[in-house]
Structure 1
């Protein structure tokens, strides 16, 4: 029997609820499209997820610590979820969401922010044989979703190269009504907004600013925080602010000279938030930054993740003529409302094709 959109039984999977970042913002957008949904996750830490909406039922797995050393058990954990009663299953994932087991009658859609970076992007030569075997298994898992979406052309290419699947790009979006420019003069600091984890490569930015006459403000938390604090000490122009409120973050964007984005981004919502506030981005030129920043118009892209390359980009930034209005205009192509409209449109079409809604 066909159902209406609001009567669908919906399960949404997210790898773990223990932090706040761009992927979590996308999760909230997807949840807002399906208020009737239940949430499935490997691990949930309520103390670190005050942002999660009340009233949504959460199903957690037997995983008690989302450490990479437990990653061989992640697939077992996802397969332990009973999803047979659901009409629609949506995985929004950076890791193992594609390995869920669903009923043949249900529609299973996977939205990739990335896949297991520890398995493919940070290989350990001593574990190469084991990793090779697991990659073959992971390739089989990639066939489980009925349809695959992803957040960027960067991730789309990774999926094609790794799994030989063509995922449809649906760009995430930001709240362009909230993040807006101001007319007052900027202050003498650059900004980083990021999870403080090793692959974000914040250490070479700190090293670069140790010899520059500008302040660097770093917003975010993560397991790399103690090490980065030690690296920043005793340089008074480098400030680690931890987590800040949304209003404080907006003000930090608005008053900054610009945002530094030093990592190989999968997509990168923070660069768009900065641009929406009229501020340019100085970013590593591969990956998501190349899709969200217009080089020379809404920011400066640099070719190498090194102190010298970043320092040269900062020098070029001060001699450029990047306009606040151009930054804002570029960001408007990536609105939250556009993402939600496009995502719902695609899911609705697939549900109709699957004949699970009237």
Structure 2
């Protein structure tokens, strides 16, 4: 009788999943993705070029962080980080990943090129092929120290691009944050990528029916040249609509001077999450003037019932159409196809005249919830661990 009783199966050990991320110096969209991965697979080993030591989230802080040799260079985690771009291939090449079952990298620079242990599959969540190498090098040459960075990239760029393309072979499977990025991965690396949109905190960013919408427009952005915030300021000056701008960055002082004599534009600086959610709930609409690979801000706004006026280039634009073409619909916003003050002002007029319904905005945003991201990533991880 005892011989007929089958032994209970041993519980399966959780797979050992190591993580890699370009750098840990601030909390932006890429770090939101890393946080979800750390929640799914951490605490675990986390490899990075640079670690500023700032606690980004509890899940990330719980990981065992292994910074590269670049960490020892002067001001590498601060203002001089971009000066070290030509050294990043060397730094990532020196990282040694401990034994694991799967390596997951999140990359918009060089971390897709980290070398996994022999026989270990490597899943790369790619926010973008390195912009400063392929399509937006001029943006990285702007600002203080830009000429020095530009000289470094001019001298090393061709070899850097060859290295970047060659080391794409270290990735077993690519995930892209949008169809726009998947097309760029194919163009730059000759590799296919499955699309898994980034996680958006739709459980936090929610409408509040007790809050009435007001008559001003909102921009939420890093204040950097390629974000085109200056174009929205000029549109507000010409069109006379009230505008509030939340964000910080290298252009902050320049933009503050630009709005000094424009009474209908208010600079708010960087804001915390509760303030940001309140802004989304009260704004008449969000203006999104930049070309992004995905763009989490419009989805956060829509999750709060706030409609969006978004820049989406013409269909034949060689840059592609950007992430807003995938996140914003006619039911949740309006579009403009030129990054000019006139086009922005016209889009704002259309948005205010016939605002999309808040419930339609919310429904669209829920397509990008954290649970949707978790399920998609889990499926890819299970396939790879099974040898797929």
SS at match of 1:178: coil
Give the total of aligned pairs. 350
TM-score for both structures, normalised by structure 1: 0.91
- Asked whether the equivalents of residues 22 and 49 of structure 2 are also in contact (C-alpha less than 8 Å), the reply is yes
Between the two structures, name the one with larger relative contact order (CA 8 Å, sep ≥ 6). Answer: 1
How is 1:51-90 mapped onto 2 (pairs within 5 angstroms)? 51=57, 53=59, 54-63=61-70, 64-65=76-77, 67-90=81-104
The answer for the alignment partner of 1:36 in structure 2 is: 43
SS at match of 1:39: strand
Alpha-carbon offset, residue 5 of structure 1? 5.3
SS at match of 2:174: strand
Alpha-carbon offset, residue 179 of structure 1? 1.5
- Asked whether the equivalents of residues 21 and 195 of structure 1 are also in contact (C-alpha less than 8 Å), the reply is no
Whole-Å Cα distance in 1 between the matches of residues 155 and 91 of structure 2?
23
Of 280, 283, 288 in structure 1, the residue corresponding to residue 323 of structure 2 is 288
The answer for the alignment partner of 2:187 in structure 1 is: 161
Whole-Å Cα distance in 1 between the matches of residues 346 and 162 of structure 2?
42
Of 320, 327, 330 in structure 1, the residue corresponding to residue 364 of structure 2 is 330
- RMSD (Å), alpha carbons: 2.1
Alpha-carbon offset, residue 4 of structure 1? 4.0
The answer for the alignment partner of 2:345 in structure 1 is: 311
Question: Closer, same or farther in 2 for the Cα pair 1:156/1:88, shift >3 Å?
Answer: same
* More deviation, 118-127/88-97: 118-127
Structure 1 residues 40-95: Cα deviation after superposition (integer angstroms, max 9, x where no partner): 11112234x44454332211123224633321111111111111422221111111
- Asked whether the equivalents of residues 175 and 335 of structure 1 are also in contact (C-alpha less than 8 Å), the reply is yes
Question: Closer, same or farther in 2 for the Cα pair 1:100/1:3, shift >3 Å?
Answer: farther
**Is residue 27 of structure 1 aligned with residue 61 of structure 2?**
no
**Is residue 15 of structure 1 aligned with residue 22 of structure 2?**
yes
Structure 1 residues 288-308: Cα deviation after superposition (integer angstroms, max 9, x where no partner): 00000003x210110011111
SS at match of 1:290: helix
Rg: which structure is higher?
2
Unaligned runs of 5+ in 1: none
* More deviation, 133-142/117-126: 117-126
SS at match of 2:222: coil
Whole-Å Cα distance in 1 between the matches of residues 56 and 98 of structure 2?
30
Question: Closer, same or farther in 2 for the Cα pair 1:198/1:315, shift >3 Å?
Answer: same
Alpha-carbon offset, residue 38 of structure 1? 1.7
How is 1:159-308 mapped onto 2 (pairs within 5 angstroms)? 159-183=185-209, 184-285=211-312, 286-295=321-330, 297-308=331-342
Alpha-carbon offset, residue 346 of structure 1? 1.0
Whole-Å Cα distance in 2 between the matches of residues 180 and 46 of structure 1?
31
The answer for the alignment partner of 1:131 in structure 2 is: 157
SS at match of 1:271: helix
SS at match of 2:170: coil
TM-score for both structures, normalised by structure 2: 0.85
SS at match of 1:46: coil
Whole-Å Cα distance in 2 between the matches of residues 128 and 270 of structure 1?
33
Structure 1 residues 4-62: Cα deviation after superposition (integer angstroms, max 9, x where no partner): 452x3332111111122211111111110012312111112234x44454332211123
**Is residue 120 of structure 1 aligned with residue 134 of structure 2?**
yes
Question: Closer, same or farther in 2 for the Cα pair 1:5/1:243, shift >3 Å?
Answer: farther
Whole-Å Cα distance in 2 between the matches of residues 5 and 257 of structure 1?
51
Question: Closer, same or farther in 2 for the Cα pair 1:252/1:123, shift >3 Å?
Answer: closer
Question: Closer, same or farther in 2 for the Cα pair 1:5/1:258, shift >3 Å?
Answer: farther
